[in-house]
Amino acid sequence: MNNFRVFNVLITLLFLSVNAMAQQTGSITGKITTSDGHNAAFVSVKLIGTPFGATTNEKGDYEINKVNPGRYTIRVSAVGLSPQEKTADVTESTSTKVDFVLREDLSTLEEVNISTNAKRYKVDQPSSSLRLNQPLLEIPQNIQIVSSLALADQQVISMSDGVLRNVSGAARLEHWGDMYTNITMRGSQIQAMRNGFNFVASYWGPLTEDMSMVDHIEFVKGPAGFMIGNGDPSGMYNVVTKKPTGNNRGEVSFTAGSFDLYRTSIDFDRKLTDDGKLLFRLNAAAQTKDSFRPFEKNDRYTFAPSLSYQLSNKTKLTAEYAWQNAKMTEVGSFYIFSPEGYATLPRDFTLTQPGVPPTRINDHSAFINLQHNFSNNWKATAQVAYSKYLQNGYSSWPSAVYANSTLIRNVGIWDAESTMKLAQFFINGKVKTGGINHNILAGFDGGKKSYMADWGQSHDLDLPSSPFDLKNPNYGFPSNGYPEFDRVTSLKDRAIAAGGLMDQKYLSGYLQDELGFLDNRIRLTLAGRYTYVSQSAWGGSPDKAKHFTPRVGLSVSVDKNTSIYAVYDEAFIPQTGFLRNGGSIDPITGTNYEVGIKKDWFDEKWNTTLSVYRILKQNELASDPSNGAGDNFSIVVGEKRAQGIEFDLKGEIFTGLKLIANYAYTDGKVTKVADGVTDMAVGDVVPGFSKHTSNAWLSYTLQRGALKGTGISSGFTYLAGRAMGTYSGDNSEQNLPDYFKLDAGLFWENKNLRITGNVFNILDKYLYSGAYYTNYWNAPTYEQAVYSWQAESPRNYRLSIAYKF
């Protein structure tokens, strides 16, 4: 009995001591918001002098438990923010609430939001290079962002490698290997941007970016007057490169795949000083890659360092450099020509002649960005960019196609040099007049671009007496030998002789005011841009144009997770060409009418966007159907209309299940015909789109158990009514067939290691894009019809191993 009493006393004392210990601790909770009322997600909260801390959730809330009583200093910090501190007294068994209002507005959180969104498919905030100071939900425009997680899950390694499945209605027109991307959307080719700069130096666009240096990609649909003064009303895409984050971390990855794909990349992110003012990041990749077609190769090397320095609490300087080197088969090697129809030759058929030297490209780019915060509500950004593109190479295209399925292969020289010098300055500010909030954006853009190329020398590999036989190909020594081109003469002199000179100078200013009513639940955007452009092409005289483009938008928050919007905006694009009658060339003008609804679902884990639009374009040039050999005349279309419906879904449906799904209906037709045009009629289809485009990518990860971290993913792309190169409603043999591609993969990951394997084109379909030429200009008789197409890879595999340190 005595032993039992002693035991009972000991248990009671133990219970009382544990209870007393529990009562001796408290907690700290709070909410962190920005000065403009937005939640500050994923911000670090630290109790100085202790190991305790927390990170805010997506709603800006944080909680620190089991804190001993006493006085503490709470420090709040995030990349791009000046650290803030508050003092709090913690008492026993109580929760002390400490809230913070960040002195910076939401736009300064860009690096924090983007870096945390690397773990998500859904991105809520555009980069500061889009110049907009608000969440995507509140912007009166359809903007879709492809996150770094989506790119990694799908094993995307370049801009031309599967990126477009993540955006409704986007497709590729021509791909030329991994050289140029050339994306069409809403019926036209869209502008290519990098870090907010228009990086199109010629009609072929910039060298497609290697994903090792890309953080995420922003697709802006419709005219982007807040971004560019002279751009297509169909939209643009903005590649945002990786920058220092202030976190000491790194990742190295290895990828191997079909057709001798071997790739290594590294991402090294470090603080160079203890105070975190000087930051460094290095991204690099090396890749060798063959093709499912013989004699084709595409090797690439990328080196992209960047530095960031916090000059003061209000001023930050960021500098970036990127070098991309490519060694690849001659441009045009992907094209196949036949008079008999699409896909009438084996999928691995090639017109490339072994022994033709490879094309070599060196692409250099540099960016300097300076941001200064005058106050909590006013911020200025100045940035410059420089690009130098050097190409030494070749292109291939038949000089004759015969009805008996023989042709003459031709190799032409394509040496080129491009230089771009670009500058921007803009101000973001917030003021309040009465009960109206003003979100102001003002600034200017200026740039000078020059492009020169020698494409005036060519050589037939085959003789008319022994043409290349498509049905019995011979890849031995060509009957007419290999080319010997003049490279002693300077490139500039050769470009002048070939008519290969292009240049552009532009300057534009813009002002935008978003007026917020009823606690910013109703937002009215009023904006305008004035642009002056002088440009020339093909060695002709400069064409000059100046134009004012207005923009009106309305966005209404139905509730905190739902907004509806409407926008009217205009665009203009200077163009260069030659009319047969010697007349002057007017710029393209375009208007966009659009309405849509955006909604975040289930605690903002996933979102949807539904939009309906109509775009009208006037004065656009097209190749003159009456052109003969050597002619380069154009005709004015008159007016064309693109209209459609787009739906996008992105995010985490429930824990572990991530989904990207989209659908677009697109229709492009001629609505007016210019005087004198007889080869085009009202109602004719304008190529450059697929009428129905749908994509999906689904990924599920096990959250617990022995297989925790294991996942499965799958996705498809379906295109119907393809009018990419040509389209005829009268002859189905001229139209491209429907397209369906199915991919799937498995992965496993833990804190430091991720293994990913994917199978692409699981069904092993013969997939291709192409164009039909009613009157092929290089045929012996001009009336001869020729089919051209580019085949895609058969079933193929990739395996990646990534280690984080």
Residue 64 belongs to domain with CATH number:
2.60.40.10
Mean pLDDT of the region 114-121:
52
Structural domain includes residue 186: no
CATH classification of the domain holding 461? 2.40.170.20
What count of other Cβ atoms lies within 10 Å of the Cβ of residue 9?
10
Q: Which amino acid is at 443?
A: G
What count of other Cβ atoms lies within 10 Å of the Cβ of residue 224?
25
Mean pLDDT of the region 500-508:
92
Q: pLDDT higher for 537 or 486? A: 486
- Predicted pLDDT of residue 69: 87
Mean pLDDT of the region 245-263:
95
- Predicted pLDDT of residue 626: 62
- Predicted pLDDT of residue 627: 60
- Predicted pLDDT of residue 623: 65
- Residue at a domain's end among 68, 103, 138: 103
Helix (H, G, I), strand (E, B) or coil at 8: helix
pLDDT averaged over every residue in the chain: 87
CA angle, residues 268, 274, 278, in degrees to nearest 5: 60
- Predicted pLDDT of residue 55: 79
- Predicted pLDDT of residue 252: 98
Q: Which of 411, 416, 399 is nearest to 484 (CA)?
A: 411
- Predicted pLDDT of residue 726: 65
d(CA 722, CA 687): 9
Q: Is the pLDDT of residue 781 over 90?
A: no
- Predicted pLDDT of residue 777: 54
Out of 18-32, 350-364, 581-595, 734-748, which region has the weakest mean confidence (pLDDT)?
18-32
Q: Which of 539, 546, 615 is nearest to 586 (CA)?
A: 546
- Residue 776's pLDDT band, with cuts at 50, 70 and 90, is low
- Predicted pLDDT of residue 33: 81
- Residue 110's pLDDT band, with cuts at 50, 70 and 90, is very low
d(CA 573, CA 442): 21
Out of 232-236, 334-338, 728-732, which region has the weakest mean confidence (pLDDT)?
728-732
- Residue 106 makes CB contacts below 8 A (sequence gap 6+) with 34, 36, 38, 125, 133, 134, 135
Mean pLDDT of the region 542-558:
91
Q: Is the pLDDT of residue 271 over 60?
A: yes
Structural domain includes residue 295: yes
Q: pLDDT digit string (tens) for 720-772? A: 998 877 655 555 567 889 999 999 999 999 989 999 999 999 999 999 988 88
Structural domain includes residue 204: no
d(CA 153, CA 712): 10
Structural domain includes residue 119: no
Q: Which of 312, 346, 351 is nearest to 333 (CA)?
A: 351
Q: Which amino acid is at 300?
A: R
- Predicted pLDDT of residue 663: 98
- For the chain, the domain total comes to 2
Q: Which of 60, 106, 99, 55 is nearest to 77 (CA)?
A: 55
Q: Give the C-alpha distances (Å, rounded to integers) separating 171 from 184, 200, 737, 768.
A: 5, 18, 15, 13
Mean pLDDT of the region 417-431:
95
- Predicted pLDDT of residue 559: 93
- Residue 108's pLDDT band, with cuts at 50, 70 and 90, is very low
Decide: residue 781, CB within 10 A, 0-12 exposed, 13-18 middle, 19+ buried. exposed
Mean pLDDT of the region 13-17:
40
Structural domain includes residue 62: yes
Q: Is the pLDDT of residue 366 over 80?
A: yes
- Residue at a domain's end among 103, 123, 143: 103
Structural domain includes residue 201: no
Q: pLDDT digit string (tens) for 554-580? A: 999 999 899 999 999 988 877 776 777
Q: Is the pLDDT of residue 118 over 50?
A: no
Q: Which amino acid is at 284?
A: A
β-partners of residue 47 are 74
Q: Is the pLDDT of residue 419 over 80?
A: yes
b/e map 21-58, b = 16+ CB within 10 Å: eeeebbebebbbbbebebbbbbbbbbbeeeebebebee
The sign of the CA dihedral 480, 360, 292, 205 is negative
- Residue 58's pLDDT band, with cuts at 50, 70 and 90, is low
- Predicted pLDDT of residue 117: 41
Q: Which range has highest mean pLDDT (99-108, 296-305, 534-543)?
A: 296-305
Q: Is the pLDDT of residue 456 over 80?
A: yes
Q: pLDDT higher for 289 or 689? A: 289
3-class SS string, 110-133: HHHHHHHHHHCCCCCCCCHHHCCC
- Residue 315's pLDDT band, with cuts at 50, 70 and 90, is very high
> What is the domain extent for residue 6?
2-103
- Residue 9's pLDDT band, with cuts at 50, 70 and 90, is very low
Phi, psi of 196 (to 5 degrees): 85, 0
DSSP structure string for 229-258: SS--TTEEEEEEEP---S--EEEEEEEEET
- Predicted pLDDT of residue 40: 78
Structural domain includes residue 181: no
- Residue at a domain's end among 63, 84, 103: 103
The answer to whether the CB of 605 falls within 8 A of the CB of 572 is no
Structural domain includes residue 193: no
